[in-house]
Chain A
Amino acid sequence: MIELNNVSKYYPTPKGRKYVFKNLNFSLPEKCNIGVLGLNGSGKSTLLRMIAGTDYPNQGQINVTGSISWPLGLAGGTQGSMTGRENAEFVSRIHGDNLAQMNERLEYILNFSELGDYFNMPVKSYSSGMRSRLLFGISMAFDFDVYLIDEITAVGDIRFRKKSQQALHDKRGYSNYIMVSHNVNDLIQECDQLLILNKGKIQLFSDIREGLQFYKEVVQLK
Chain B
Amino acid sequence: MQFRNSWQIQRAVFLALFIRELKTRFGKYRLGFFWAMIEPIVHILVLTILFSLLRDRGDFYGIPFPLFFGVGVLAFFIFQKIVTGGINSISANLGLFAYRQVKPFDAIVVRAFLELLIICLVMAFLTWLGAWFFDFETFPHAPLFILLVIIILFIFSLGLALMTSVIGVRYPEAAQLINMFMRPLYFLSGIFFPLKAMPEDYHVYLLWNPLLHGVEQLRAGWFSDYPADGTNIFYLFLWALPIFFFGLAFYRNNRTRVLMS
A residues lining the B interface (CB < 8 Å)? 52-56, 67-68, 70-71, 74-82, 86, 89-91, 93-96, 142-145
Contact = CB atoms under 8 A, between A and B. Distances in A.
Contact of B20 (A55, A75, A82): A82
A67 B93 CA distance: 23
A54 B94 CA distance: 11
B100 interface: yes
Given A77-B98, A95-B1, A96-B9, 12 more contacts: A52-B98, A53-B100, A55-B260, A70-B99, A71-B98, A79-B95, A80-B95, A82-B20, A86-B20, A93-B15, A94-B101, A96-B8
A55 to B, nearest CB: 7
A79 B12 contact: no
7 contacts: A52-B98, A77-B96, A77-B99, A79-B95, A94-B9, A96-B9, A144-B1
B4 interface: yes
Contacts of A91: 99
Nearest to B101: A94
Nearest to A80: B95
A96 B3 CA distance: 10
B23 A54 contact: no
B256 interface: yes
B259 interface: yes
A23 B4 CA distance: 32
B13 interface: yes
B94 A82 contact: no
A78 B15 CA distance: 17
A80 B97 CA distance: 13
Interface residues of B, number: 25
B155 to A, nearest CB: 26
A90 B24 contact: no
B102 A67 contact: no
Given A53-B100, A79-B93, A90-B16, A67 B1 contact: yes
Nearest to A70: B98
A199 B15 CA distance: 43
Contacts of B24: 81-82
Given A76-B94, A86-B23, A142-B1, A94 B256 contact: no
A210 B24 CA distance: 52
B142 interface: no
B147 interface: no
A162 B108 CA distance: 40
B211 to A, nearest CB: 32
Nearest to A76: B98
Contacts of B259: 54-56
Given A96-B4, A96-B9, A79 B99 contact: no
A91 to B, nearest CB: 7
Contacts of B93: 79
Interface in B9-67: 9, 12-13, 15-16, 19-20, 23-24
B97 to A, nearest CB: 6
